[in-house]
Structures are given as C-alpha cells and as structure tokens.
Amino acid sequence: MRDAADHIPAAAGPGRRGAGELEAAVLEVLQRGGSALSPGEVRELIGGDLAYTTVVTILSRLHAKGVLDRHKSGRAYLYAPVADSPGLAARRMARVLDEEADREAVLARFVSTLSDRDEELLRRMLAGSGPDGLDGHDGDSGG
C-alpha cells in the first residue's frame, strides 16, 4: 500500500468540494502514484472523506475526458494518467483550439499575450521542431 507521506489532505474550508477541485486532487494522486491505482487506493490517498462511489464517478469522468487510461484488474479498474502534467496541459490547450473555427485568430491572440520570455521559448521550439521541439508533429493543424 502507499506511504502515509503520500496522503493528499482534504481541501480546507467547510462544505463540499467542487467537481474541478476533486478532479484535480484525483489527478494529482494518480500522477504522484507512479503506477495505476484502484479507486480504493485513490480514495485512501485523498483522505478517505469521500464516498467510494464519488471517487469512481470522478475517475470515470476523467477517463471519458481522455485524461486517464484504465484497465481491468479483477473486478475493479486501475487508472493512470495518459500524460504527465505538461502533457495534460497541452491536451487541454489543443482541445480549446479544436473548438474554435478560426484557429489562426486564436493562435495569433494567444501568441500576442505571451511574455517576451515565453515568446522566445516558443520561437526556439518551432525552429527546432525535432524530438525536443514539438513531439515530432508536422505542423498540420488538420483544418
């Protein structure tokens, strides 16, 4: 089982936690876990104040969003993130871009809001566009 030092404390403050806050806590537990975890293990590491069914619901939602992989282990599923934290952020950014009709305008606005440092970093990455650049994508936006 997991070490007590890996325990994620419950959110501060009275009342219920929002779905986004719970999803973030579950995702953090899974990213730190190092291996796929069962809903029971996730519940234990979050703090155990959540109902098992709530944890299962959150895991199912994250799986449906494409954030988690799952595989059957006995009667339960084990869950693991599909990517590390930067990879998940990149997936969210790509989803937002995919939802917009004018990709060029969205990208132009995004780049115009970057700090000078981030803009230079992006320029270096685009110039390199190799394995350390953009994960080997060919730059085709698909639309």
Instruction: Give the C-alpha separation, 94 to 88, whole Å.
Output: 10
pLDDT of residue 89: 80
Q: Give the confidence band of 116 by pLDDT, cuts at 50, 70, 90.
A: very high
Evaluate if residue 66 carries a pLDDT over 60. Answer: yes
Q: Distance (Å, rounded) from C-alpha 95 to C-alpha 140? A: 15
How far is Cα of residue 133 from the mean position of the Cα atoms in its chain? 20
Q: Is the pLDDT of residue 54 over 80?
A: yes
Q: Is the pLDDT of residue 140 over 50?
A: no
User: Quick one: 57 and 112 in the same domain?
Assistant: no
Q: Do 65 and 21 share a structural domain?
A: yes
The residue-averaged pLDDT of 20-26 equals 87
Q: Output the average pLDDT for the chain.
A: 79
Domain tally, the chain: 2
Same domain, 9 and 43: yes
Same-domain check for residues 106 and 45: no
Averaged pLDDT, 65-89? 88
Q: Which residue has the higher pLDDT, 130 or 94?
A: 94
Same structural domain, 69 and 105:
no
Sign of CA dihedral 130, 132, 133, 139: positive
| 70 and 105 both lie in a single domain | no
* Within a domain: 94: no
Domain that holds residue 73: 4-81
Q: Are 123 and 115 in contact (CB under 8 A)?
A: no
Q: What is the pTM for the complete model shown?
A: 0.58
Based on the fold, state whether residues 73 and 113 are members of the same structural domain: no
- Does 75 lie in the same domain as 9? yes
Question: Are 77 and 104 found together in one domain?
Answer: no
pLDDT score at 19: 63
Mark which of 26, 52, 81 sits at the end of a domain.
81
Model pLDDT, residue 17 = 61
Q: Is residue 92 part of a domain?
A: no
Sign of CA dihedral 76, 82, 86, 91: negative
Taking residue 43's Cβ as centre, other Cβ atoms within 10 Å add up to 23
